[in-house]
Amino acid sequence: KQEVTQIPAALSVPEGENLVLNCSFTDSAIYNLQWFRQDPGKGLTSLLLIQSSQREQTSGRLNASLDKSSGRSTLYIAASQPGDSATYLCAVSGHKFYFGSGTKLNVKP
Amino acid sequence: DTAVSQTPKYLVTQMGNDKSIKCEQNLGHDTMYWYKQDSKKFLKIMFSYNNKELIINETVPNRFSPKSPDKAHLNLHINSLELGDSAVYFCASSQLGESAYQETQYFGPGTRLLVL
């Protein structure tokens, strides 16, 4: 059974810092990996989708990498801003869709 | 315009009641999903429909019955509500790739259900 783990569970950084969020998964037979953002009391917003054949995807200040063989993905956020404060979830898709429990990010002004 | 919408946003009800949550998407997608997010923030797939047909049905009590009148709507009906049903329920939609999860999913804002 696929297990998705995100470390750390919570992260607090000062504004302007570059940071990395980690996601690991146990079964490398995946179609893709997605990073989502969840704001308090709101739904999920898809940030980046990396197909299994890809190594990374970039969108603005966000860069996500995928190393399928080692079962790892990272989400790199450059020059963090208070508006980046949210919970970041990764999810892997194979025959099923599995979410991690998220990393709660707080960017302090 | 809201891409994926859910109603109601909040639902507080007594044990034993029957309730429905509605979901609509205007993205032209052909696949819709229901997820449950528990108190520990884990999201778990419950159901998935493609063009009104059930394609994924996880181990969910049969008190939960999804209904898809057309490909833009997927409603969730819950019978005999229990305390453990309290959670946030998310609807999502996507195009159908080679697997049900291959394409980007777009989520609704969630319905916060509290069973007393």
Detail the DSSP E strand segments found in A1-109. Answer: 4-7, 10-14, 19-25, 32-38, 44-51, 56-59, 62-67, 72-77, 86-93, 97-99, 103-108
In which band, very low, low, confident or very high, does the pLDDT at B88 lie, cut at 50, 70 and 90?
A: very high
| Cis amide bond preceding A8, omega within 30 | yes
In which band, very low, low, confident or very high, does the pLDDT at B43 lie, cut at 50, 70 and 90?
A: confident
DSSP for B33-76, please give it.
Answer: EEEEE-TT--EEEEEEEETTEEEEE-S--TTEEEEEEETTEEEE
B76 pLDDT more than 90 = yes
Taking CB atoms and an 8 Å limit, are B107 and A93 in contact across chains? no
* Ranges B14-18, B37-41, B73-77: which has the least confidence: B37-41
Total residue count of chain B as it appears in this document: 116
Residue of B4, B42, B99 lying closest to A95 (CB–CB): B99
Q: Is A27 on the interface with B (CB under 8 A)?
A: no
* Burial (CB count within 10 angstroms: exposed 0-12, middle 13-18, buried 19+), residue B41: middle
A22 pLDDT more than 80 = yes
B35 pLDDT more than 70 = yes
The single-letter code of the amino acid at B57 is: N
Residue of B99, B106, B110 lying closest to A93 (CB–CB): B99
How far apart, in whole angstroms, are the C-alpha atoms of residue A57 and residue A47?
A: 10
Per-residue pLDDT at B101 = 57
Residue written as tokens 């859910």?
B6
Q: How far is CA B37 from the centre of its chain?
A: 11
Q: Chain A, 73-102: which have a CB under 8 Å from a chain B CB?
A: 87, 89, 91, 93-97, 99, 101-102
Taking CB atoms and an 8 Å limit, are B43 and A45 in contact across chains? no
A61 pLDDT more than 70 = yes
Per-residue pLDDT at B59 = 73
B58 pLDDT more than 80 = no
Q: B63 vs B10, B19, B60, B67, B94, CA distance in Å?
A: 20, 11, 8, 13, 26
Tell me the per-residue pLDDT of A70-91, one tens digit each, with 9 for 90 and over. 999 999 999 999 999 999 999 9
Per-residue pLDDT at B97 = 63
Taking CB atoms and an 8 Å limit, are B98 and A97 in contact across chains? no
In which band, very low, low, confident or very high, does the pLDDT at B60 lie, cut at 50, 70 and 90?
A: confident
In which band, very low, low, confident or very high, does the pLDDT at A68 lie, cut at 50, 70 and 90?
A: very high
B98 pLDDT more than 70 = no
Region B41-46: what's the mean pLDDT? 82
How far apart, in whole angstroms, are the C-alpha atoms of residue B33 and residue B47?
A: 6
Contacts by residues A62-66 (CB-CB < 8 Å, ≥ 24 positions apart): A62/A35, A64/A33, A64/A35, A66/A33
8 Å CB contact between B105 and B77? no
How far apart, in whole angstroms, are the C-alpha atoms of residue A25 and residue A70?
A: 9
Per-residue pLDDT at B9 = 92
Nearest-neighbour CA in chain B from A26: distance (Å): 17
Per-residue pLDDT at B100 = 53
